[in-house]
Amino acid sequence: MIGYVARTDRYGQTQNIGQATEVNLYALKRIAEDTTLNTKTIVEEFIHEKYGKETVDILTPVFMETDDILLSVFYTLGLNMTSHSRFELDYPSIYGRHCSGKWLKNPVISVGHGINETFHYWKDVVEHLSPARYKTKKTKDGEMTVLYQEAPWVIDNMWLSPEDKMNEKYLEYIITEKEYGVKKALWAVNEIKKVQSLVSDQSEYQELLQLYERTYLTSKLYLAGAKAYFGFRTYLNDTTNAKVKTIANEGLTSIEEITNEMHNYQHKGPTGGQFQWIDDTIRASDLYNKIKNGWNVYGSQKLNDSSGFNVEQDGES
């Protein structure tokens, strides 16, 4: 039996019909009709029909590079850093249920995005990026962790240690990848602006431009969040490291700036389904407040006003 099932959105509403993202549905339709077609040809067909023949040469590279943008913004060293597309860096399923290494016989990934390194999904990526509490068999309440439910062999093979291993080297990898995503997202916006005079239906042009402008703002939010979240954890593992403390504070400052920028952006995107773009500002602000208040789940270090995060904490882990 050959075929496919596509879930386009959740809860009976879709954001994909009549917009640029409909290219995904169009691709499924076309490849079902003709299995000899390649991706570039399908994308060119879609752009030609929706935006006009004169835009094809400019917009095709943007559409073709979008996967690279998404993989460097929403993924971190191959881990899907979201919850149903929502901004979320501290979510157990990221490090267990949704880790692609679960389905690979050889769980290794090659990451470009300015890094150009090969990583073992578990021994390298999850070991360093996951908080310690997600890398054990049981939670503090005695329940099985998501990771042990989903991939018990990872712990049984002793590929992970029950300690927070986030360090400066991996922080640099993460920032490199996120900065790459920001640069690529901005490039896409600038390319799209070149076709404004070539698109006959300006409402179609504006929808496309706004989609990528929101993507650019999101890329900056993920860079800020990564600096704050992973920088703070790195700091907790080495409180003498002034560099990582500076990075974490840069992230906190940027979260404030970018969430304000997102609130001031007039075009918040379609509503419906489980994802609302502007709600990412709420989740980012929650991360900001947790770090500012010492989020003691990271470790047993006692943070005080001299830590640079203006936090108060009792030191309990």
pLDDT (tens digit, 9 = 90+) per residue, 42-70?
999 999 999 999 999 999 999 999 999 99
Is the model more confident about 166 or about 141? 166
Confidence (pTM): 0.91
> Domain map of the chain by residue range?
89-165
Residue 284 confidence (pLDDT) above 70: yes
Q: What would the two tokens of residue 56 be?
A: 């094809």
Q: Return the closest-CA partner of residue 185 out of 222, 216, 207, 225.
A: 216
Residue 279's contacts (CB-CB under 8 Å, 6 or more residues apart) are: 86
At residue 97 the predicted structure's pLDDT band, cuts being 50, 70 and 90, is: very high
| pLDDT recorded at residue 295 | 65
| Between residues 314 and 169, the one the model is more confident about | 169
Give the mean model confidence (pLDDT) for residues 213-226.
98
- Residue 168 pLDDT exceeds 70: yes
Q: What pLDDT is recorded for position 3?
A: 72
Torsional class of 12: left (φ above 0), alpha (ψ -120 to 50), beta (otherwise): left
